[in-house]
Structure 1
Amino acid sequence: METTPSESSSTPSTTVPKKKQGLGWVEWLRGWMYIIYEMLFQRIMASHLQNPLSLPPINNLTCIVTGSTSGIGLQIARQLAESGAHVVMAVRNTKAAHDLIHKWQSEWTGLGLPLNIEVMELDLLSLESVSRFAEVWNARMGPLHVLINNAGIFSIRGYWQFPSITGPQKFSKDGYEEHMQVNHLAPALLSILLLPSLIRGSPSRIINVNSVMHYVGFVDTEDMNVISGKRKYTSLVGYTGSKLAQVMFSSVLHKRLPAESGISVLCVSPGVVQTNVARDLPKIVQAGYHLIPYFIFNAQEAICKGFELLKTSNIQQFRHMVPESEALWKSSQIHFYAELVRLAKPSSLFGTLNRELGSRSALFSATDPQIPEYCELLKSDDWPVCAFISQDCRPTNPSEEAHNIDTAYEVWEKTLEMIGLPSDAIEKLIEGEEVRCRYGDHQE
């Protein structure tokens, strides 16, 4: 029997929307424009902040800081300890951490009391190590007030086609792409497994040190390891995707945790700072990476100084009024450009950018009393993403892709599957039930 045109037209047609394969060029361009803007003007935007950031007394806080033997993690751990907190340095290199503590104790002059710091081993390239760390900590049955997931990596794999610096895409022993594991999967597992201690420390906070680079990131939940061939793998793809995945996962965790738990979840951007995140880059590339912020900030200083020079000279206002002032104007211009060259001279590029600048957003988020109220406000307003604090210690909006709620929940489900936790792990842990992790023993 043939189908008449009227019958065929009445049959509903179902079209499956095409899955997004990457950022559109407008999103990509907008993301890079934001990153460049951040790089150029971050010091101006944060000029209202003290350096180092002044912290309130926090003698009653227990804080875990991952990756705290270098970069901003080192500064975060030291400043929290000097403000009175009990700090746990969760690190891979325990000897380096103990050496730092010895140095800090010898330099500390506050109130005659030693700094309250301890070291625990944690290797984010091993989910078994993460599970073991959480098991040992939870066994203490003590409170945890602040978890700062600071550790991260940015390895150079397949970025330039030169044999001397190009290497294969690397995976952890758990089988996951190294950026995705260290920057997202391991911190996600640690955050969830430590929920019992965070509940005991309520009101408490989970702070994920993210990156402005997530603005150009994309996550394909069907290809978290970037091995399908649909996208060419580069270090930038791995790094930006892992940072976006962290924002998305944090946003869902923020929503899944009930207000009664008293746990705030937020991401922070440290800005463009020299850190050890690029420790796996070739030496020549590391040198260029570390010089970027110096050039930007010294150029900013030179320009500001130059315009201040012209402003105070009062020559501009007389230039067109008094003929003789033209010679003075030209002389001032020469002086102006000479000052620019002096301030931005090559030797100034090789100074050290103070890591205190990059630590302020995390320290602010860990200690500011209004953070819990702000996080709950976002939750009550049904805002699609978690709190995101910029390097100037002000709330900012994550990337457009981070607002993709459907993808965020896909990232949530895929992440739980990859880190070996059941889909109802959050609810069980909040109720005090046991949860089995594929990479460790029972967690209570």
Structure 2
Amino acid sequence: MVEKEIDSLCNQYGLKPTSLSDLMLKVNFPDPDIEYGFIEEENALYLPLYEELNASSSLSGIEGDFQGYIRFILDPEKASSEYLADFFNNPLGLKIRKAWEARGFILKPEIRASEEPAAVISEDSALHDTSGDASFAGKSGFPGINSSLAANEIEFSGEAPVENICAESGESSVLSDAAISLLPGISSLPNVDLYSLTHSKLYLPDLQVQLEVLKIKDITRELISQLSVFECRLSTYPKSITHIRKNLELIREAVKLANDSDYILELIRRGESKKLEFKSTLRMNLITGKPDWNIEHAVLKTIVAYLNTDGGVLLVGVSNSGEVLGIKNDGFPNEDKFLLHFKQLIKQHIGLNYAPMIEYALVPVNGKKILEIECIRSDEAVFLKPDKNDEEFYIRIGPSSERLTGSKLIEYVNRRYKGKTG
């Protein structure tokens, strides 16, 4: 499920999937002979084995819990450790970390207590699969586990053939009961299938974008701090209050648009449902290349169905598969004409008295504009009027809008609205 979400993200943002194996130069496991488990190095990602811990780009950020981390030294030409640490602490990164555990890449001690052998790096593991672009070379081991292992570091060496990192000992390289100090309440360390973990999919922008994101985050934190100070001083009535208000409104609008864009992408990732539907266009038949009432009718019946059920969101300019198409295919000369046409459709075929229940706006997504239509539940039955002499009634059943007629319509209206109609 998480990999599908990552694939969807890659498609929406135009990103290529990657993995830790593509980004890292070497891996370090904690060394009990070193005070904090590791010696500080540049561009290092400290990845936690427990979801309760945070990823970090500095040794000081792991707060002495070094026994619960693996360290990755990243290629400075491919990735920023600060960006990746932030990524693995955000909701999607946390999902990926939980998926590693669910798939057996990280097995906690309580799971490993059974007789079932854990997923580990061994001679029989997928580590011998030479299909990957990146590979391990050199010696490795977790300190205090296999005394014959000569090092606790794995180097990553691009296109070289995959070698068994446990070749010298003939044993598995796993985290288990060790001489390492443990987290409170934990009696042993987890097993780690390092190959599968480092080769599982991630989605990341290129290095330039990563660094730009970090700069924007710094500006955001600075802005929050300054706004906090300004709020405290506001009661002194600054002379430039009008100028300040206008600039704050511009900032608010910019942030709102960015948030709306990310919100729309999150909706698209979820896929169509009872309360979410996608339409490629508002009026244009993409096959004939001409405006088509049937396309408009499909949009309007979805809106009516939302009003008659429990509300929902309709995104116009998004294909059924979740591809962001934008509204340009509808062939309007500008955005104002597009919105005016939509308003006229509501007025003519549903009624402006229901307009307060239908909020809509154009939202920029991936360099294109899509129409977001959000409907709330109506307190009375709403009918679609395709022409002056006809009325149609729709409700949402699952991810589709279904028409009710005859006795079923009467029964639904009486039960839900007590016979009240618009």
What is the TM-score normalised by the length of structure 2?
0.20
Whichever structure has more helix as a proportion of its residues is 1
Computing the radius of gyration from Cα coordinates, the structure with the larger value is 2
Whichever structure has more strand as a proportion of its residues is 2
